[in-house]
Amino acid sequence: MNKQDQPLIFEYSRPGRVGYSLPELDVPAEEILDLIPCDYIRQEAPEWPEVSELQIMRHYTALSKRNHGVDSGFYPLGSCTMKYNPKVNEVVARMAGLSHIHPYQDEETVQGAMEMLYRLQTNLAEITGMDEVTLQPAAGAHGEWTGLMIIRAYHEAKGDFNRTKVIVPDSAHGTNPASATVAGFEAVTVKSNEKGIVDLEDLRRVVDENTAALMLTNPNTLGLFEEEIVEMASIVHEAGGKLYYDGANMNAIMGVIRPGDMGFDVVHLNLHKTFTGPHGGGGPGSGPVGVKEDLVKYLPKPVLVKEGDRYTFDYDRPDSIGRVKPFYGNFGINVRAYSYIRTMGDAGLTQVSKDAVLNANYLMKRLEPYFDMPFNQHCKHEFVLSGKRQKKQGVRTLDMAKRLLDFGYHPPTIYFPIIVEECMMIEPTETESKETLDEFADALIQIAKEAETDPEIVQDAPHNTVISRLDETRAARQPVLRYERPKQEA
């Protein structure tokens, strides 16, 4: 069989084949049917594939081998922190006392789970330098939106309804301007200078009495530290605006410096990046938001509080922006993050950041002779290189990214941030060994040499994958929405 031609699971189907048997119903079927409105009861059996357990195991194992994941290979996707998630956190999240509780259970019966969430809130406030944290938001972008709604509530409570603008650097993650827009603000761009950091002159130009907030990450998405952050904070604060910190990639600074100490008023974290919640594929995330004292009363309600030695949800928060997620947020991801923080400890979390920065700088230095490095300085957790030199040979950064697939690597983020021509953004993360970094550097160096000597091999890549280069837009333009079962031959 050609490796391209992996049959669909439906094609293995034969009537009567069984892979899993459900237990006998222990209640009368009619009683259940009585509970469901007639319109929702199906009249015909669904067209599910009928396959054996072995077939289904082999089918999905074969498909999984075509995929990339951190557990199977290096995944240097810039700005995404695709680091290894220790399995002990998975074990903890699956413990029956944590995974079998029900969101409607009485508070008295889940005090342990509430204590864990409370401790996590407290730990995250300490790590970010904020006064209080909510665990409700379900992802980074959701945290951004929540944080901006809090800032809006703060301005409006002062009778200030003219703060309509949120300032975002041109190097920002795409979710920043998107969240600002969804929260009802106008996103205004502030330019970066030739050093890759925010241009102070341009910041002074765009900040005014209509500024609600400046959204920033530091280090920024080019992997560079905004050295003038204290000055930037005072420019925004003096104009009456707030500072929002995008802390998705907190492993750049965790344990070393804190957004709260840099002058930020609101922070979100991505527990599914820095704090080892597995991510990708749109799976559950968690984007806690921390705020400084003057914003605490606007946090989403209910707020998890400790009264004596009892934990409870406080609904009596008249200034709250309201609930942003039902129940306990994405509880399982919060459990993993707590387990991660406890297993690492203070010193461990600080070491994480040091190793993340060391790994990125090591890789950057190894690649420097072969690629243009747009910013000639140390980086933090990630760096951006430019394929300008290779472009002169007719090899685009897209081609080099595709060629990396032939070496078994998930390609890095490319063409982002857009301010760097032909860019590739590499975030090795702290969990990779020197050997892995060297192997990856060797692969990219070979590709740079191929661009000189044999550009076609790069331009036509990938060659060793299950399918060759895809038409990037066809799947979106001509989606296949329904599988048509082939007619079975007699």
Ligand X SMILES: *Cc1c(COP(=O)(O)O)cnc(C)c1O
Which chain residues interact with ligand X by CB under 6 A? Answer: 79-80, 139-141, 173, 175, 217, 221, 246, 248-249, 270, 285, 287
DSSP string, 174-219: THHHHHHHHTTPEEEEE-B-TTSSB-HHHHHHH-STTEEEEEE-SS
Nearest-approach distance from CB 388 to ligand X, in angstroms:
25
CA atoms within 13 A on the CB side of 244: 32
- Cβ distance to ligand X smaller for residue 179 or 390: 179
**For residue 168, what are its two tokens?**
């975002």
Go through 444-461 and write b for each residue having 16 or more CB atoms within 10 A of its CB, e for each that does not: beebbebbeeeeebbbeb
- Cβ distance to ligand X smaller for residue 76 or 462: 76
Contact between 218 and 225 under an 8 Å Cβ cutoff? The reply is: yes
- Which residue is nearest to ligand X, using beta carbons? 140
Nearest-approach distance from CB 249 to ligand X, in angstroms:
5
Nearest-approach distance from CB 78 to ligand X, in angstroms:
9
Instruction: Extract the runs of DSSP E, i.e. beta strands, from 278-421.
Output: 289-291, 303-307, 310-314, 383-386, 413-414
Nearest-approach distance from CB 32 to ligand X, in angstroms:
38
Residues written for the chain: 490
CA atoms within 13 A on the CB side of 313: 22
Nearest-approach distance from CB 168 to ligand X, in angstroms:
11
- Cβ distance to ligand X smaller for residue 147 or 462: 147
**For residue 355, what are its two tokens?**
């190793």
> Using omega within 30 degrees of 0 as the cis cutoff, is the peptide bond preceding 462 cis?
yes
- Cβ distance to ligand X smaller for residue 150 or 451: 150
**Cα–Cα distance between 125 and 279 in angstroms, integer?**
23
- Cβ distance to ligand X smaller for residue 139 or 207: 139
Nearest-approach distance from CB 209 to ligand X, in angstroms:
28
Nearest-approach distance from CB 81 to ligand X, in angstroms:
7
Q: Which of 424, 429, 379 is nearest to 276 (CA)?
A: 429
- Cβ distance to ligand X smaller for residue 137 or 260: 137
- Cβ distance to ligand X smaller for residue 138 or 451: 138
Find all residues with CB under 8 Å of 58, minimum gap 6, and list them.
none
